[in-house]
């Protein structure tokens, strides 16, 4: 399909981000369920509610443009969410899983922020002030969600993940020490047995 005007490109990108938001809305409950930290769960659940508002806002924009949203699947978001699902299937300690969920969620946020920023610029160029304001509002909400995830990561999740890693290192070190002590005891027992055999032979 040939796209000949900025308005048509705008509508094409608008349909793409609408699909992205629909896919995100479907994926978020799985992330909420897999998350362990209460604050992270709350943040993801809040973003699910906000995503519903984003979809309503997009439909409003299509109405303002006198158009109906085209049926389209956003392949970029599909790829990001497929990767997120792979992460959720992995076995990890709770804090590590939360850190991985935040990383996946922020990839989604950054993708959406890039698209909404572009769409807002297109709307400005097309002289659609109300549409630009609606897109700016959504962009601000995406930025806020991203900052909130960053704060949770820095203040809670990442330090806990690092502590779990240190705990694992200490456990491995203790296990290694135990193995070394067992080896030393076995060597000592062997030496004693050898001495006893030598005494008997004499």
- pLDDT at 175 (0 to 100): 47
pTM of the model: 0.80
Measure the CA–CA gap between 28 and 41, rounded to whole angstroms: 10
For the stretch 79-87, contacts whose Cβ atoms lie closer than 8 Å and that sit 24 or more positions apart, written own/partner, are 80/104, 80/107, 80/108, 80/111, 81/23, 81/24, 81/27, 81/108, 83/107, 84/27, 84/31, 84/108, 85/27, 85/30
- pLDDT at 71 (0 to 100): 85
- pLDDT at 164 (0 to 100): 76
What parts of the chain have a pLDDT lower than 70?
Answer: 165-202
pLDDT in tens, 47-98: 999 999 999 999 999 999 999 988 899 999 999 999 999 999 999 999 999 9
- pLDDT at 165 (0 to 100): 67
Closest to 146 measured CA to CA, from 200, 105, 85: 105
Instruction: Give me the residue spans of the domains in the chain.
Output: 6-165
What CATH code would you report for 6-165? 1.20.1260.10
Residues 6+ apart with CB under 8 A from 84: 27, 31, 101, 104, 105, 107, 108
Residues 6+ apart with CB under 8 A from 101: 31, 34, 35, 40, 44, 84, 87, 88
- pLDDT at 184 (0 to 100): 60
- pLDDT at 171 (0 to 100): 46
Measure the CA–CA gap between 179 and 34, rounded to whole angstroms: 36
Closest to 24 measured CA to CA, from 127, 122, 145, 123: 145
């Amino acid at each position: 399909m040939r796209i000949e005007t900025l308005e048509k490109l705008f509508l094409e990108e608008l349909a793409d981000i609408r699909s992205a938001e629909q896919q995100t809305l479907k994926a978020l409950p799985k992330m909420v369920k897999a998350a362990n930290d209460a604050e992270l769960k709350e943040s993801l659940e809040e973003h699910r509610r906000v995503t519903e508002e984003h979809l309503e806002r997009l439909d409003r924009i299509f109405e303002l443009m006198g158009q109906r949203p085209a049926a389209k699947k956003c392949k970029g978001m599909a790829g990001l969410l497929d990767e997120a699902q792979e992460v959720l299937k992995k076995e990890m300690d709770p804090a590590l899983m939360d850190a991985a969920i935040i990383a996946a969620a922020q990839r989604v946020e950054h993708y959406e922020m890039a698209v909404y920023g572009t769409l807002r610029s297109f709307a400005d160029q097309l002289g659609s002030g109300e549409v630009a304001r609606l897109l700016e509002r959504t962009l601000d909400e995406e930025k806020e969600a991203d900052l909130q995830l960053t704060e949770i990561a820095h203040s809670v999740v990442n330090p806990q993940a690092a502590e779990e890693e240190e705990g694992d290192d200490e456990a491995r070190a203790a296990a290694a020490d135990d193995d070394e002590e067992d080896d030393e005891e076995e060597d000592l027992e062997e030496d004693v047995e050898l001495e006893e055999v030598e005494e008997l032979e004499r």
